[in-house]
Amino acid sequence: MTSAMAFSAVFSAPMTFGSFTSAKLNSVSSFPPSVAFLSSKSSFFRNAPFLQSSVFSAPLFKSRLSANICSRAATEKSVHDFTVKDSDGKGVSLSKYKGKVLLIVNVASKCGLTNSNYSELSHLYEKYKSQGFEILAFPCNQFGGQEPGSNEEIKQFACTRFKAEFPIFDKVDVNGSNTAPVYQFLKASAGGFLGGLIKWNFEKFLVDKNGKVVERYAPTTSPFQIEKDIQKLLVV
């Protein structure tokens, strides 16, 4: 069976992931059905043996050599090596966050996941910011055009509606030829399903105090589900 035929056969068959079924996954309207399989570290991937089969070592995705090169390059850097722009267009060195646990999220204002994510992110930030926790939000308009506003409009929306106090940076691309360098690093550090592409709004990267990515979460993972992982890094 060729890799293309195997891929087709895998996804045409009924699928069960613990208590989740393909029917339940496909019922979610806020993002494409494939989004749940985004991360090789997500619970969906760990609970689905077929996703770890040899089918996905085929040239259909990144070659193993290419992935290893990207991984080595990523391990030589940290998030702290990058400079990004704030919502006013001013440069911000992420080295200012050395010694802090970071949750980096690509956000959108008009997504079906917006209300729950912004509400829970604001709650976690308020609860843990005094312990060295920071959330870095990067608006992105690449998924369904759901972040069309200006930086000022985006910031006002988040701060007014959700009382968000965490930093919201300049709008960026997270996929494609114009991908922001920090997102190139994040994806290389924790390659996800389908070649590491960010699949939808509110994908999350958890970064330790040394600026290294320790976990990547699909958009379907709520911030509250990440709380225990945040707690573990804060006490290290």
Tokens of 211: 């600026």
Residue found by looking up tokens 């997504």 in the block? 111
N- to C-terminal Cα separation, the chain = 48
70 annotated active-site: no
Per-position DSSP letters for 132-188, written without gaps between them: TEEEEEEE---STT---S-HHHHHHHHHHHH---S-BB---BSSSTTB-HHHHHHHH
Instruction: List the Cα angle 115/120/124 in 5-degree steps.
Output: 155
- Cβ distance 34 to 200 under 8 Å? no
Pick the catalytic residue from 70, 111, 140, 159: 111
Catalytic residue numbers?
A: 111
